[in-house]
Structure 1
Amino acid sequence: MWNLLDEDGPFPSDAQQPGDAPQIAPILPLFGSLDDEAPAGWQERALCAQTDPEAFFPEKGGSTREAKKVCVGCEVRSECLDYALENDERFGIWGGLSERERRKLKKQAI
């Protein structure tokens, strides 16, 4: 069995000597760019990102009232709803609408 941390493992050490600082890959953002001046994505500006996520994914038959209250005042509500519709999100409250409400909205659009 190989020890991946050992110099004799299956991967060459690229001339790293004992005592050298380990080489660490840069951390890249999952979305967007590396530009620090780029505006934050809609997800970072969403009010739900600052609240309890469980409110947005209630148990079957549970109340959606609290989540929808948060959505009413959210500046990125339309972007959130667009995302949910484009990505066929089947669970949770997105853009102030439940899955059932989003399904109805899609049917009306057809």
Structure 2
Amino acid sequence: MPQPAPRPERPFTLGEVFDDEGALSWQERALCAQTDPEAFFPEKGGSTREAKRVCVSCEVRAECLEYALAHDERFGIWGGLSERERRKLKRRAI
């Protein structure tokens, strides 16, 4: 099993996340790839409304959320959920 990459000093943008083959096919279809990435990584206390509105209609929302949960993403909106919402979801799953 491959080891996780070291954590960057800044959060990845969605366009910078790659798997062993060099790309994520679901990511190429993600609506966020056509949107300002700043919306998905708001400042602390900033609004997540714009990012979540994009996620609601995204065809790869489930894949995005699955990726974030599997890779313990700690920053940003992934699959329509904030970091706090993803933590709650993981706690309920245990």
Which residue of 71, 75, 87 maps to 2:59? 75
Aligned to 2:48: 64
Q: Following TM superposition, where does structure 1 have runs of at least 4 consecutive aligned residues deviating by more than 4 angstroms?
A: none
> Please, what TM-score do these two structures have when normalized by structure 2?
0.76
**Match status 1:91 vs 2:75:** yes
1:36 aligned partner: none
Between 1 and 2, higher relative CO (CA 8 Å, sep ≥ 6) is seen in 2
CA distance, structure 2, for counterparts of residue 43 and residue 75 of structure 1: 10
Partner Cα separation in structure 2 for residue 101 and residue 47 of structure 1: 20
**Structure exhibiting the larger radius of gyration computed from Cα positions:** 1
Residues of 1 paired with 2:49 and 2:37: CA distance?
13
More helix by share: 2
1:52 aligns with 2:44: no
**By how many angstroms is 1:30 displaced?**
1.5
Matched letter for residue 101 of structure 1: E
Extract unaligned runs of 5+ from structure 1.
1-28, 33-40
Partner of 1:104: 88
Give the structure 1 partner of residue 22 of structure 2: 30
Give the TM-score normalised by structure 1: 0.65
Q: How many residues align?
A: 74
